[in-house]
């Protein structure tokens, strides 16, 4: 039971983290590395972020991802599911498939 909980939670967290790094990482690479000279004048702050600023932001994002993963597990795989409108199959509500 606990092993299943850890495996499912790890899968949810991993998928969410990968999505985060794609959705946040691609624009970061584009605007901070590839096109930095074009967009440097559009920055709100003049101070450049340090390595610790980047690490702190990523750690905070991973903490938020962990919390959201726990909530997703509770909603999808516990008795809370009966209180939601989440359907296991689309045919349950007649979506036409």
Q: How large is the average pLDDT for residues 60-64?
A: 97
On whether residue 70 sits in a domain, the answer given is: yes
Does the pLDDT value for residue 84 go beyond 60? Answer: yes
State the pLDDT confidence band at 96, using cuts at 50, 70 and 90: low
Supply 55's token pair: 């690490």
Q: What is the pLDDT of residue 97?
A: 54
Does the pLDDT value for residue 69 go beyond 90? Answer: yes
Supply 11's token pair: 């899968």
On whether residue 21 sits in a domain, the answer given is: yes
Return the CA Rg of the chain: 19
On whether residue 66 sits in a domain, the answer given is: yes
**Any idea what DSSP says for residue 84?**
S
Does the pLDDT value for residue 50 go beyond 90? Answer: yes
Total structural domains within the chain: 1
Q: How far apart are CA 5 and CA 11, in angstroms?
A: 10
On whether residue 19 sits in a domain, the answer given is: yes
On whether residue 53 sits in a domain, the answer given is: yes
Range of the domain at 23: 2-79
**Any idea what DSSP says for residue 78?**
S
On whether residue 86 sits in a domain, the answer given is: no
Does the pLDDT value for residue 47 go beyond 90? Answer: no
């Amino acid at each position: 039971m606990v092993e299943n909980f850890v495996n499912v939670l790890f899968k949810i967290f991993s998928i969410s983290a990968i999505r985060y790094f794609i959705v946040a990482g691609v624009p970061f690479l584009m605007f901070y590395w590839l096109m930095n000279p074009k967009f440097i004048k559009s920055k709100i702050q003049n101070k450049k972020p340090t390595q610790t600023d980047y690490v702190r932001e990523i750690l905070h994002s991973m903490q938020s991802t962990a919390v959201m993963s726990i909530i997703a597990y509770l909603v999808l795989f516990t008795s809370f599911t009966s209180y939601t409108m989440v359907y296991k199959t689309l045919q349950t509500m007649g979506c036409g498939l």
